[in-house]
Amino acid sequence: MKLFRKMLIANRGEIAVRVIRACKELDIKTVAIFSDIERESLHVRFADEAVCIGPADSKYSYLNIPAILSAAELTDSEAIHPGYGFLSENPQFAEACATAGITFIGPSSESIGIGGDKAKVKQLLKKQGIPVIPGSDGPVESEGMAMKIAKRIGFPIIIKASSGGGGRGMRIVNRKQDLPQALQMAQGEALTLFGSSEAYIEKYLPSIRHIEIQILADDRGNVIHLGERDCTIQRRHQKLIEESPSPVATAKFRKKIGELAVRAARAIRYKNAGTIEFVVDHKQNVYFIEVNTRIQVEHPVTEELTGIDIVKEQLKIAAGYPLPYKQSQIELSGHAIECRINAEDPEKFVPFPGRIAFFLPPGGYGVRVDTAAYTGWTVPPHYDPMIAKLIVHGEDREDAIAIMRRALDEFIIEGIKTNIPFHKKVFSHPDFIKGYFNTNFVDKINPPNEK
C-alpha cells in the first residue's frame, strides 16, 4: 500500500518521532521542521529531510503557517501531519493545506472549527440528545446572564473559555459574590490565551472521572470506537496518567459510552482519528465535555490494548482507504497505563528545562517508551515540558501496575528534575491501586499548601 510519497511533520518532540516511525514503516519519505534551537533534536535526525522554519519562539516557527507551507512546497511534500498541540486544531491551517493541494492528516477544517468552539459543539450535541453538563446554552454575554444561570444550576460553577484547551482557561467559582470578578478575569484570560474572550458556564461537578473514547472514522461514513481511556489522574485539569480499560467500566458501560461517542462523531461528520471526552459522576452518569480533533498524547494506551497503530490508520484514512475493521472486530486485551514524564520539579510542578546528563529508558516485557530525549540533549524552555511517555501493557490492571513500578524504578534521567518521583508515589498509593479515585486525587496526595 503506497499512501503518500512524502510527508512533512509539522511538530517536534516525541510526537514528531512517533509519526516519522509510522511513515518509515509505510515507506513514506519524511520531512521534519525545526526551530533554530532544535537542530540537534531527534526528529530532525530521524527524518529524511529537515527544514529550519524560524526562531525558538513557536509563534515564529511551529505556529508559522506560511513558513511551514513553503517548507512543504520546497520539499515537494504531498501531506502534512500536524501531531498534537501547535497547529493541529487550527482550522485555518487545515484550510491552507487544502488550498495548497496538500493533504492535511486530520478531519476537515469545518469539523476542526466545530470541535474548537467548545460552547457551540456542546449545544449542537445537546440537541442531538447527547447528555451534557447543565449550564449556559452557548456563551455567556453578560454578568446578569451569568448570575441567572448560576442561580438556576447552583454553585459551584466552572467558567470555561469557548476556545480553551490543555486544561487552561477554566475557573471554578464557589460563591455568588465571587462571580462578577471571576467572569471578568476568565474572559480576560481567554482573550490573552486563546484570542477570544468568549466563555461559557457549567455546573462544577466535584467528584468525577474523565473518561474518553477513541474514534476512527473514514470518509465513507464508517465510524468505530476503540474503547475508553480513563484520564482521571490530572493536575490543574491536565492529564498525568491515562489507562485503559477504566477501572470503573463494565462491558455494558463501555457499550453505552462508546455508542454515545460514535453518535457525537457522526453528528459533526467527523473523519480521521479523534477523541470524544466525557466526565462520569459517581452514579455513572455520563456527560460530554469536548471533542479533540487530532491524535492525542495518550493514544498509545489504546494501541497497546487493541493492537491497532492509530497513526497508520490516520494516514490510511487520509489517503482515502476504508476502515479495515468493523466494531465487532475490535478486541481489547489486557490493561495498559501511560505516565507522562515531564521535565519538572516534582514538588512544585514547575518546568525544569536543561541538559540531560544521562538518559536511560526502561525496557523489557510490556514496556514502551515514546520519547525524543537522549543523553546530552537539552530540554528547551520554550515548549511543553513533557519529554517522554512511559507506557506499559499487562495481563490485567494489577500486572500493569507491577510493570509500571518496575519500569519507573529503572528509568534513569540525570541532570534535570522530572516527575518520576510523583509517579512512584501514585503507583504505591492504596487508593490508586484499588482504582478508587477522582480528578481531585493529585491534590489529595500532594495538598496544594505543601507545594
Shortest distance in whole angstroms from residue 236 CB to ligand ADP:
9
Q: Is the dihedral of CA 96, 99, 104, 110 positive or negative?
A: positive
Q: Does 164 bind ligand ADP (CB under 6 A)?
A: yes
Q: Does 439 bind ligand ADP (CB under 6 A)?
A: yes
Indicate which residue of 254, 294, 368, 397 is catalytic.
294
Give the whole-angstrom CA distance, residue 218 versus residue 224: 9
Which cell is 329 given?
472486530
Please identify, using beta-carbon distances, which residue of 68 and 205 lies nearer to ligand ADP. 205
Q: Which stretch binds ligand ADP (CB under 6 A): 10-18, 76-84, 157-165, 376-384?
A: 157-165
Shortest distance in whole angstroms from residue 185 CB to ligand ADP:
17
* Among 80, 133, 356, 400, interactor with ligand ADP by CB under 6 A: 133
Determine how β-strand 350-351 pairs with β-strand 6-9.
unpaired
How far does CA 102 lie from the centroid of its chain? 24
Q: Does 198 bind ligand ADP (CB under 6 A)?
A: no
Rg (CA), the chain: 21
Question: Are the C-beta atoms of residues 164 and 139 closer than 8 Å to each other?
Answer: no
The residue assigned the cell 519524511 is: 30
Q: Does 121 bind ligand ADP (CB under 6 A)?
A: no
Q: Does 165 bind ligand ADP (CB under 6 A)?
A: yes
Q: Does 130 bind ligand ADP (CB under 6 A)?
A: no
Q: Which residues contact 274 (CB under 8 A, 6 or more apart)?
A: 107, 115, 215, 217, 265, 291, 292, 293, 294
Q: Does 241 bind ligand ADP (CB under 6 A)?
A: no
Q: Which stretch binds ligand ADP (CB under 6 A): 92-100, 205-213, 217-225, 403-411?
A: 205-213
| CA geometry: angle 415, 421, 427, nearest 5 deg | 150
Give the whole-angstrom CA distance, residue 62 versus residue 97: 15
* Among 64, 77, 214, 234, interactor with ligand ADP by CB under 6 A: 234
Q: Does 208 bind ligand ADP (CB under 6 A)?
A: yes
Q: Does 230 bind ligand ADP (CB under 6 A)?
A: no
H or E element in which residue 350 lies = strand 350-351
Query: Which 8-state DSSP code applies to residue 395?
Result: S
Q: Which stretch binds ligand ADP (CB under 6 A): 5-13, 82-90, 202-210, 361-369?
A: 202-210
H or E element in which residue 271 lies = none
Give the whole-angstrom CA distance, residue 252 versus residue 323: 25
Query: Which 8-state DSSP code applies to residue 230?
Result: E
Q: Does 246 bind ligand ADP (CB under 6 A)?
A: no
Q: Which residues contact 19 (CB under 8 A, 6 or more apart)?
A: 7, 9, 11, 30, 81, 83, 311
Shortest distance in whole angstroms from residue 258 CB to ligand ADP:
18
Q: Is 39 a catalytic residue?
A: no
Which cell is 49 given?
529531510
Please identify, using beta-carbon distances, which residue of 33 and 289 lies nearer to ligand ADP. 289
Give the whole-angstrom CA distance, residue 257 versus residue 387: 32
Q: Which stretch binds ligand ADP (CB under 6 A): 56-64, 65-73, 160-168, 249-257?
A: 160-168
Residue type for 122, please? K
* Among 46, 204, 288, 432, interactor with ligand ADP by CB under 6 A: 204
Listed in order, strand segments (DSSP E) in 101-251 are 103-104, 157-165, 168-173, 199-203, 208-217, 223-235, 238-244
Strand partners, 135: 202
Number of residues interacting with ligand ADP: please give it, by CB under 6 A. Answer: 19
Length of the chain: 451
Q: Does 205 bind ligand ADP (CB under 6 A)?
A: yes
The binding track of 30-69 with respect to ligand ADP, each residue x by CB under 6 A or -, is: ----------------------------------------
* Among 131, 144, 154, 166, interactor with ligand ADP by CB under 6 A: 166
The binding track of 280-309 with respect to ligand ADP, each residue x by CB under 6 A or -, is: ---------xx-------------------
Q: Which stretch binds ligand ADP (CB under 6 A): 39-47, 158-166, 267-275, 366-374?
A: 158-166
Name the site residues for ligand ADP (rule: CB under 6 A). 133, 158, 164-168, 202, 204-205, 208, 210, 234, 237, 277, 279, 289-290, 439
Q: What residues act catalytically?
A: 294
